[in-house]
Chains A and B, each alone.
Chain A
Amino acid sequence: MDQISQLEQFVMLAILRLRPEAYGVALQKELKVRTGREYSVGAIYAVLDKLEGKGFVKTKQGEATPERGGRAKLYFNLTGSGQSALQASLRAIDNLRTSTPLSPVLS
């Protein structure tokens, strides 16, 4: 199975949170709110392109809105293989994290 990078994990989780309304700007805002990092639109579309190439994401054309200059939205959703790849990747992190002694960070 294909490996998933951290940003790919973030984007896939954001798609799951937002579906069926997951499109570029919504994903960008969700990632900013949940991770505190601001990703460019180009970076998000690059990741989505990669995920689509792996067969983890499918697209559906949405409605055009005036604030987008009359251009349509492109909605993203996870495929079955995308969901299983995400679950496997998160399970691997959980397995590593359980019983790992993390020393408390003093700030």
Chain B
Amino acid sequence: MKNKDTERRDSDHLVKPSDHLRRGLWIGVTILFPGLLFKVLKVKEPAAEENAALLPPPMGEALVALFCSKNRARYVMGCLEENFHEDIRTKGKRRAKLLYWAAVLRSIGPLLWVKLRRAGLIALLVEIGRRWSGLS
């Protein structure tokens, strides 16, 4: 028979159903009210239709905000937006949007790599791999 302390320690490792509920609620709310997602990620909300054409795609900015480290995100987004406005002037709105998405997708990889390295996840994965393969 387990004593109370052991039971408490066992329950610490379990994911509580309330966590799933909270996560589900959060996803539901962001689908229903996308404006909230933009507010949380500190990304500009899509403006009125005529102004929206002159703004970079907000989902692209949200992606950068997700994958970039917090202290660099606004500078990266600023640089992408500067390029976007120059592309609008030289290549037109439609092509500028395409180029913006291409720039976002090309930028995500290196930014994510920096974030993972900073979090020490790469070192952790290497250590797991070494232990699993029996090299250590």
Partner of A40, one of B56, B74, B110: B110
CB within 8 Å: A-B pair count? 76
**B63 CB to nearest A CB, Å:** 11
Question: Are A25 and B110 in contact, CB atoms less than 8 angstroms apart?
Answer: no
**B15 CB to nearest A CB, Å:** 33
Majority SS at the chain A contact face: helix
Question: Are B81 and A46 in contact, CB atoms less than 8 angstroms apart?
Answer: no
Interface size class on chain A is 20 to 34
Measured in the bound complex, the distance between the Cα atoms of B114 and A68 in whole Å is: 23
Question: Are B110 and A71 in contact, CB atoms less than 8 angstroms apart?
Answer: no
Question: Are A69 and B114 in contact, CB atoms less than 8 angstroms apart?
Answer: no
Question: Are A45 and B76 in contact, CB atoms less than 8 angstroms apart?
Answer: yes
Partner of B74, one of A25, A28, A41, A71: A71
Cβ proximity bits B77-108 to A, threshold 8 Å, 1 near / 0 not: 11111110110000000000000000100111
Interface size class on chain B is 20 to 34
A23 interface residue, CB < 8 Å from B?
yes
The residues of A that contact B69 with a CB separation of less than 8 Å are 49
Question: Are A42 and B82 in contact, CB atoms less than 8 angstroms apart?
Answer: no
Assuming the contacts A45-B72, A45-B75, A49-B72, asked whether A68 and B82 have C-beta atoms less than 8 A apart, the reply is: yes
Interface residues of B (CB under 8 A from A): 44, 55-56, 64, 68-69, 72, 74-83, 85-86, 103, 106-111, 113-114
Interface residues of A (CB under 8 A from B): 23-25, 28, 40-43, 45-46, 49-50, 65, 67-69, 71-74
